[in-house]
Amino acid sequence: MIEILKTKKYLLLSLCLVTTNLLSQFSIEKIKFNSANPFSLNDIISNLKNQDKQKVYGTLIIPDSTHLEKIPLIIGVAGSYGWGEHHFQYLEMFRQMGIATFELNSFKSRNITSTVGSQTEITMAAMILDAYRALEVLSSHPKIDKEKISIVGWSLGGGVTLFSGWLPVKNAINKELNFASHLAFYPPCFIDPENTNFTKSPIHIFIGELDNWTPAKPCEDLVSKLKPNTNIDVTVFESSYHSFDTDSKVHKNENAYNFSDCMFKLTPEGHVLMNYLNIPMSNPFLQKIGFSFCVTRGVFSGGNPEARKKSFTLAKSFMKRTLLE
């Protein structure tokens, strides 16, 4: 009995030491800031001051194992399901590189768990605004290098990451601050901007070849369209669906929107237009009408082990090049 008690005591002590050691490697802060709830990009460009106000928060984690007085930061933006395990795995990888991370909680701040099958509870426009408001606050943090703050996002968050680099909306929010780089995982590239002025910061898109939620072809076309004047690239992962970088098996989501047949024009004023009618989808009702012309339901998503491994490797390389070199 004495030996058993000694063993249990030793295991408990060891667990405490490991936990203490892990916690000592990072400092964690909850950051709160003011944002708003624009529905469309036009709301930001033409009427930002009059949008309904919104308190938003996120979690800043700073690795302690760095000799730098100020360190780079990556702001992470989740997709329509909110934060998932693979998102946190990327953030952990970045912290191991000596980069601070910020988990932007646009959903939890608004008591939202998912936008799958509707995309109206919170929009890409509102999340872009959240990302820039976070950038403004975090740029003044004493431990963060404001010249080296990048953004990474997945799916809906990938759209935030991609279109946060679109200058008409970026300049309407903040003309002074820029993201150092943009890494967009499977974003909605089927929004085609007439104004092709994007940030000079590097943009890279990761997209699955078989993705029918946010298809690859519009991303390839967008990169070709922007390439002459924009530092933008795309990597298409073979035999891969949406969320190819997860551990989950490929499965069909019957409720999710399938945008395979959609291509929406984005005007310089920030209006996303319906197919055929060219009417701005400026509120949930008009968006529903606009989607009815081309959107179906039912998409495949899930991991591809080879693509997942490659994705982590390339993401690490991209952030090393744009933040650490």
pLDDT at res. 67: 76
Please provide the DSSP assignment of 77-130 as one string: E-BTTB--HHHHHHHHHHHHTT-EEEEEEHHHHTT----TTT--SS-HHHHHHH
Residue pair 44/125 in contact (Cβ under 8 Å)? The answer is yes
d(CA 58, CA 302) in angstroms, rounded, equals 27
Say if strands 144-154 and 71-77 run parallel, antiparallel, or are unpaired: parallel
d(CA 272, CA 190) in angstroms, rounded, equals 10
pLDDT at res. 17: 36
d(CA 304, CA 245) in angstroms, rounded, equals 7
Give me the tens of pLDDT residue by residue for the chain, a chain 325 residues long.
333 333 333 334 334 434 444 445 889 999 999 999 999 999 999 999 999 999 999 999 999 877 788 999 999 999 988 899 999 999 999 999 999 999 999 999 999 998 887 888 899 999 999 999 999 999 999 999 999 999 999 999 999 999 999 999 999 999 999 999 999 999 999 999 999 999 999 999 999 999 999 999 999 999 999 999 999 999 999 999 999 999 999 999 999 999 999 999 999 999 999 998 999 999 999 999 999 999 999 999 999 999 999 999 999 999 999 999 9
- Strands (DSSP E) along 160-209, which ranges? 182-185, 191-193, 203-208
Strand order in the sheet with 232-237: 26-36, 53-63, 100-105, 71-77, 144-154, 182-185, 203-208, 232-237
Q: Does the predicted TM-score (pTM) go above 0.75?
A: yes
d(CA 308, CA 298) in angstroms, rounded, equals 23
User: Count of residues for the chain?
Assistant: 325
pLDDT at res. 124: 97
At what angle are helices 305-319 and 85-96 packed, to 10 degrees? 40
Nearest to 315 by CA among 97, 16, 147: 97
Task: Give CA torsion, residues 75, 251, 260, 82, to 10 deg.
Answer: -30
DSSP tag of 276:
T
d(CA 36, CA 264) in angstroms, rounded, equals 25
d(CA 87, CA 122) in angstroms, rounded, equals 19
Residue pair 131/102 in contact (Cβ under 8 Å)? The answer is no
pLDDT at res. 120: 84
Nearest to 135 by CA among 95, 175, 91, 82: 175
| 35's tokens | 């944002």
Residue pair 77/131 in contact (Cβ under 8 Å)? The answer is yes
Domains and CATH numbers, the chain: 26-247+304-324 (3.40.50.1820)
